[in-house]
Amino acid sequence: MSYEDATTTLDHETREAIDIDRSKGDFTFPERHKYDAGRGLSEKTVDYICDVKNDPQWVREFRHKAYKIFNEKPMPTNWATKDLENIHFDDIRYYLSDGEKPKRSWDEVPEEVLKTFERLGIPEQERAFLAGVEAQYDSEAAYSNMKEELTKQGVIFVTSAEGLKEHEEIFRPWFGKVIPSGDNKFSALNSAVFSGGSFIYIPKGVKLKQPLQAYFRINSESFGQFERTLIIADEGAEVMYMEGCTAPKFETATLHSAVVELVALKGAKIQYVTVQNWSSNVFNLVTKRGLAMEDAEVRWIDCNIGSRLTMKYPGVIMKGRRARGEVISIALANTGQHQDTGAKMIHAADETTSNIVSKSISVGEGRATYRGQVHIPKHLKGCKNNTECDALLINSHSRTDTYPAITVRGNRHATQHEASVSQVSEEMLFYMQQRGLNEGQAMSLAVNGFINDLVREFPMEYSVELKRLIDLEMEGSVG
Amino acid sequence: MSLHIQNLQATLEDGTDILKGVTLEIPNGEVHAIMGPNGSGKSTLSKVIAGHEGYVVTGGSVTIDGEDIGEMSIDERSRAGIFLAFQYPSEVPGVSNANFIRAALQSRLPQGQEIDAVAYYKDLYAKMDLLEMDRKFTARAVNEGFSGGEKKRNEILQMMMLEPKYCILDETDSGLDIDALKIVSKGVNAMRSPDRGMLLITHYQRLLDYIKPDHVHVMAEGRIVRSGGPELALELEKHGYDFLKEAALA
């Protein structure tokens, strides 16, 4: 092979022979970056990024303002885990790219990058079932393309950098509006140093039959990935967007801090599907929120399997009458991992409906936390919320916490909240093993059973992948 | 060819003696019944044979067809031919019966070989028909919301699908009304074969009216205290267990 493996002395063939599946995302190529912002974060880093990206003045100002907010805001360790203090902002590299524009054809993508995405199966998926793909490698997209007929319909699917320059008139009015820079420390950080991510615009009445997909790949050590995505579905439009993420297992911690804003105008539907499988030393601190106008619908379908710490609470602001918001989430926390996930539902109009279904699995010493916020103010009427959170514990060291906060004012609303904690008991395992399944298979089956009703919500191609990932996690978790 | 239990001794993890030297041989083609009062160690015997990790085997051996299974894991014993129909089958939420049985069958195939779905369902439906089970059972989660009788039928269905060499039925008759008992017995009788050994664990003679055993053993306080033919079960029915315990002590 023409490339070398930087993480281990074993060659690829040997490693694949030993452990092909589990190492699917665990490989890396030598860095060949033309642009490297260096370690640490300062005004200069922000300017460096602006210069390299040739940002317009308004974006430069936006970044600097956000940088100030980031510095002023304390770490949210008053409510969140102290592990956040182990992020060393001075050691992180905030921008790494080869300075190339994203390619429209895989043939033009540099060989190593192409090999990376081929190993992750992206070009194959694109051919099979996707309407468009963006593949990000460290700070910038290496590939971005969409089916031609969509271009003709006026669909825009480009990187955020291209979006803010080429489509400023659509991009700028919504950018940073659903999630202001000051929403939290990490949204401020992202706003200061963002690069990569997608800008999508679906024109009025256009309904995409196939999903668009983005894949976020971290290749470099001590790196922070800060993609920024803005999706706007115009009146009556429909789109499903899927994202996947992986990174190799480095010795040092890696930071992934994205901001994703969705805007569903009147009667529009946006579904955002995530299957995250970060390696176990990635801090994954992501802010995701959607705005749903009259009769619009925003659905977050979210699966978090890897990472060291994930903090992610996808939200929907239901701003128009009869708007609907939904968060369906699955989190699997293995030993050494903390999945701190949840949902935020802000009802801001009459007859709005929100639904939260969260299932978490804690394995070994893994920890799963659910944080939910549902807000229904007094002056509204006819709002509905349903919240279900179920936790499954596998072995006695694992931990699960639930912090639901449902604020309902006024008496013209309906809310429902259900929570459960269950275990894969010794007796259940004995029963399954007595039928011939080994311990790993038995646990996989129990876990897959636990999330079965949610997996149906994922597109078929992803649910197969999801099941495979869970099988691997469970096999790896038995001694 | 037999399931051979030789001087088997087992304790709880805290050291409490449960099995105090059980010896029993079930040759292929025979049906044996173990009867005995509550707490005599009958259910423990079945779990220890299956490899349950809550017990410590302190002596003796279990062999199937001459092979010692003492070092085998629970699932290895299953694949080697041991089937236990549970007294209290576990629920497996979210996993359909059809998928569960299929996964169990799949675990018996060499890697890379897949079960033929069409043949599988044909076989499954035929056996469900024999047990008078509604087709809807295939889609329902394993034992979830099942009545006692449905659970027991489901155990027999799994047994029929897996076609084990040695079947151990732990109190399969408990909680069954007479109609369900007849159906379950029909399934068990259909499984009788010169190539298969069966061990019925029961508290009552009633089951043995429907499944005729070749041998009957009585267990008390962790030991087999008496063995005989089918007539022994009738004797027990008449005189109860106290009579036997006294006889054993005498």
B65, part of any domain = yes
Alpha helices in A337-459 (DSSP H): 426-434, 439-455
Q: Is there a contact between B5 and B23 (Cβ–Cβ < 8 Å)? A: yes
**What is the domain extent for residue B82?**
2-90+149-156+163-249
- Greater confidence (A235 vs A33) lies with A235
B210, part of any domain = yes
**Does B190 contact A at CB distance below 8 Å?**
no
**Does B193 contact A at CB distance below 8 Å?**
no
pLDDT at A175 over 90: yes
**Does B72 contact A at CB distance below 8 Å?**
no
Q: Which of B75, B86, B89 sits opposite A437 (nearest CB)?
A: B75
Q: Which of B74, B91, B92 sits opposite A434 (nearest CB)?
A: B74
Residue with tokens 């990187």: A159
The string of pLDDT tens digits covering residues B40-55 is 999 999 999 999 999 9
Quote the minimal CA–CA distance from B247 to chain A in Å: 36
**Does B162 contact A at CB distance below 8 Å?**
yes
CB atoms within 10 A of CB B77: 23
B179, part of any domain = yes
Mean pLDDT of A353-373: 93
Q: Which of B90, B94, B108 sits opposite A436 (nearest CB)?
A: B108
What's the half-sphere exposure (Cβ side, CA atoms, 13 Å) at A178? Answer: 32
Which residues contact residue A172 at a Cβ distance below 8 angstroms, ignoring those fewer than 6 apart? A58, A164
Quote the minimal CA–CA distance from B233 to chain A in Å: 29
**Does B166 contact A at CB distance below 8 Å?**
no
Q: Do A436 and B75 touch (CB under 8 A)?
A: yes
Q: Do A428 and B52 touch (CB under 8 A)?
A: no
Q: Do A435 and B91 touch (CB under 8 A)?
A: no
Written as six digits, the tokens of A375 are 């807000």
Which residues contact residue A207 at a Cβ distance below 8 angstroms, ignoring those fewer than 6 apart? A236, A237, A238, A239
pLDDT at A17 over 70: no
Domain count, chain B: 1
Across chain A, mean pLDDT equals 88
Question: Which contiguous run of DSSP H or E holds residue B42?
Answer: helix B42-50
| Burial classification of residue A446, based on how many CB atoms lie within 10 Å of its CB (0-12 exposed, 13-18 middle, 19 or more buried) | buried
**Does B12 contact A at CB distance below 8 Å?**
no
Which residues contact residue B126 at a Cβ distance below 8 angstroms, ignoring those fewer than 6 apart? none
Residue of A nearest to B78 (CA): A436
Question: Which contiguous run of DSSP H or E holds residue A68?
Answer: helix A57-72
Give me the residue spans of the domains in chain A: 12-312, 426-479
Q: Do B94 and A453 touch (CB under 8 A)?
A: yes
Hey, what amino acid is at A476?
G
Written as six digits, the tokens of A405 are 């906060």
Q: Is there a contact between A286 and A313 (Cβ–Cβ < 8 Å)? A: no
pLDDT at A10 over 80: no
Query: Residue A248 has what pLDDT?
Result: 75
Query: Residue A365 has what pLDDT?
Result: 87
The string of pLDDT tens digits covering residues A45-101 is 999 999 999 999 999 999 999 999 999 999 999 899 999 999 999 999 999 988 888
ipTM, two decimals, is 0.96
B126, part of any domain = no
Q: Which of A236, A241, A226 is nearest to A156 (CA)?
A: A241
Query: Residue A4 has what pLDDT?
Result: 34
Mean pLDDT of B191-211: 93
B96, part of any domain = no
Which residues contact residue A411 at a Cβ distance below 8 angstroms, ignoring those fewer than 6 apart? none
Q: Is there a contact between A387 and A418 (Cβ–Cβ < 8 Å)? A: yes
DSSP, collapsed to helix, strand or coil, labels residue A212 as strand
Q: How many angstroms from the chain centroid is the CA of residue A6?
A: 27
pLDDT at B244 over 90: no
B139, part of any domain = no
Query: Residue B51 has what pLDDT?
Result: 96
Query: Residue B118 has what pLDDT?
Result: 94
Q: How many angstroms from the chain centroid is the CA of residue A111?
A: 26
The string of pLDDT tens digits covering residues A407-448 is 888 888 899 999 888 888 889 999 999 999 999 899 989 999
| Burial classification of residue A445, based on how many CB atoms lie within 10 Å of its CB (0-12 exposed, 13-18 middle, 19 or more buried) | buried
CB atoms within 10 A of CB B250: 5
For residue B100, the chain A residues in CB contact (below 8 A) are 432, 435, 445
Mean pLDDT of A330-335: 91
B116, part of any domain = no
Residue of B nearest to A392 (CA): B93
Compute and round to an integer the Cα radius of gyration of chain B: 18
Least confident of A92-96, A200-204, A358-362, A402-406: A402-406
Query: Residue A14 has what pLDDT?
Result: 38
Interface test with A, best of B87, B90, B115, B159 (most A CBs within 10 A): B90
For residue A432, the chain B residues in CB contact (below 8 A) are 90, 92, 100
Q: Is there a contact between A308 and A83 (Cβ–Cβ < 8 Å)? A: yes
Question: How confident is residue A24, by pLDDT bands cut at 50, 70 and 90?
Answer: low
For residue A448, the chain B residues in CB contact (below 8 A) are 94-95
Q: How big is chain B, counted in residues?
A: 250
| Burial classification of residue A479, based on how many CB atoms lie within 10 Å of its CB (0-12 exposed, 13-18 middle, 19 or more buried) | exposed
Q: Do B75 and A453 touch (CB under 8 A)?
A: no
Query: Residue A11 has what pLDDT?
Result: 41
Written as six digits, the tokens of A126 are 């694109």
B188, part of any domain = yes
Residue with tokens 């807000």: A375
Quote the minimal CA–CA distance from B231 to chain A in Å: 33
The string of pLDDT tens digits covering residues B144-163 is 999 999 999 999 999 999 99
Q: Do A436 and B73 touch (CB under 8 A)?
A: no
- Greater confidence (B31 vs A133) lies with B31
Q: Do A437 and B83 touch (CB under 8 A)?
A: no
| Burial classification of residue A281, based on how many CB atoms lie within 10 Å of its CB (0-12 exposed, 13-18 middle, 19 or more buried) | buried
Residue with tokens 């085998």: B72
Which residues contact residue B61 at a Cβ distance below 8 angstroms, ignoring those fewer than 6 apart? B4, B5, B6, B7, B8, B68, B70
Question: How confident is residue A7, by pLDDT bands cut at 50, 70 and 90?
Answer: very low
CATH value at residue B24:
3.40.50.300
Q: Is there a contact between B214 and B26 (Cβ–Cβ < 8 Å)? A: no
| Burial classification of residue A215, based on how many CB atoms lie within 10 Å of its CB (0-12 exposed, 13-18 middle, 19 or more buried) | buried
Query: Residue A19 has what pLDDT?
Result: 36
- CA-to-CA distance for A17 and A23, rounded, in angstroms? 10
The string of pLDDT tens digits covering residues A149-162 is 899 999 999 999 99
For residue A445, the chain B residues in CB contact (below 8 A) are 92, 95, 100, 103
